[in-house]
Homo-oligomer: A and B are copies of this chain.
């Protein structure tokens, strides 16, 4: 029976590329695997697929009882198919905090590492097989690392992520700076999305003192393109919050090149969060947070009411 390999429900580059990498590795080592997606890949992930001639994996919306699965880039049941605890989860490869809630029927292979990128962990797990990777898989791995580290700018970056990316780039004859610029341009082209889609594109739920937030991030080299639409986005926030059953949506527009985030301040609650969490001095409906680039390392651990 074919093992499905998939990431989370909002497929960014790592959650699209890592299933393809692991699909290749499993098939290469005599197992039968198929990468799947739990949603439409974002514009950067779509760019990666085209650039490396990778077919877009099938999008599935649930898994059958007993379906063999490998979960990558998450361990959070809320980000996985509804029936995940009914499936036969064979392995988990991830770089997020342990959320709890996922259970397995027996002991399985679980590897979680505090690295920037799932693909970097896979590079380690593959051992000698990394030398057999075709160009397309090397390209996917490089893309995942460049994306998750924001070209080594994010504080989540470890020396291991950087070393793996640099060796892949050398192998592929790719200039990382040029390639990163192409990727970030693809990620920044969000003109086709509605305000509600922007708020859900890269978003995680997080509770502080009983208040549920949807913490949304847009990483871009063109913050102006998003901020020009701030009125429309702020208007969509209460609606998205209501539909997604959270109390408040927070949006951080991360300026990749200038290494800062602009937080939208639609109301008093978000103003208080900005002041208490980041010591920000808020005047008006946006505030710039210098140096803030990572939800995982900087935003979530700081959130206060």
* Interface residues of A, dominant DSSP: loop
A113 adjacent to chain B (CB < 8 Å): yes
One of B95, B103, B110, B114 near A112 (C-beta < 8 A) = B110
- Cβ-defined contact, A98 with B109, below 8 A: no
Chain B CB within 8 A of A296 CB: yes
Of the candidates B102, B108, B114, which one forms a contact with A107 in the assembled complex, judged by CB atoms under 8 Å apart? B114
Q: What is the CB-to-nearest-CB distance from A137 to chain B, in angstroms, rounded to a whole number?
A: 24
Option from B92, B97, B109 in Cβ contact (under 8 Å) with A114: B109
Chain B residues lying within 8 Å of A106, measured Cβ to Cβ, are 97, 114, 296-297, 301
Q: Which of B96, B104, B105, B113 contacts A109 (CB 8 A)?
A: B113
Please, what's the 1-or-0 string for A77-120, where 1 marks a CB less than 8 Å from any CB in chain B? Answer: 00000000000000010111111111111111111111000000
A135-178 Cβ-contact flags toward B at 8 Å (1 or 0) = 00000000000000000000000000000000000000000000
CB distance from A142 to the nearest CB of B (A): 21
Task: Say yes or no: A107 contacts B100, CB within 8 Å.
Answer: no
How many subunits of this chain does the assembly comprise?
Answer: 2
Residue of B nearest to A297 (CB): B106
Partner of A104, one of B98, B105, B110: B98
In the complex, are the beta carbons of B101 and A107 less than 8 A apart? no
Which interface residue of A98, A99, A101 has the most chain B CB atoms within 10 A?
A98
Interface centre among A94, A96, A109, A112 (most CB of B within 10 A): A112
* Interface bin, chain A: 20 to 34
Whole-angstrom CA separation of A105 from B113 in the bound complex: 13
State whether A100 touches B101 (Cβ < 8 A): yes
Taking a contact as CB atoms under 8 Å apart, the answer to whether A112 and B108 are in contact is yes
Contact of A102 among B98, B108, B297 (CB under 8 A): B98
Q: Which residues of B contact A105 (CB under 8 A)?
A: 97, 301
A110 and B110 form a contact (CB under 8 A): yes
On chain B, the residues within 8 Å of A109 by CB distance are 112-114
Complex contacts, A99 vs chain B, CB 8 Å: 103
User: With a CB–CB cut-off of 8 A, which chain B residues contact A102?
Assistant: 98, 100
Residue of B nearest to A92 (CB): B98
Taken together as a complex, chains A and B put the C-alpha atoms of A102 and B114 apart, in Å, by 17
Contact B98 A108 (CB under 8 A): yes
Within 266-300 of A, Cβ neighbours of B (below 8 Å) are at: 296-297
Contact A296 B114 (CB under 8 A): no
Chain B: CB-nearest residue to A89: B98
A255 to chain B, nearest CB (A): 24
Interface residue ranges, A against B (CB under 8 Å): 92, 94-114, 296-297, 301
The 3 closest A-B pairs by CB, nearest first: A110-B112, A107-B114, A98-B104
In the complex, given contacts A98-B103, A100-B103, A111-B111, what are 16 additional A-B residue pairs having Cβ atoms less than 8 angstroms apart?
Answer: A94-B107, A95-B107, A97-B103, A98-B108, A98-B110, A100-B100, A100-B101, A105-B301, A106-B114, A107-B112, A107-B113, A107-B114, A108-B112, A108-B114, A109-B112, A110-B111
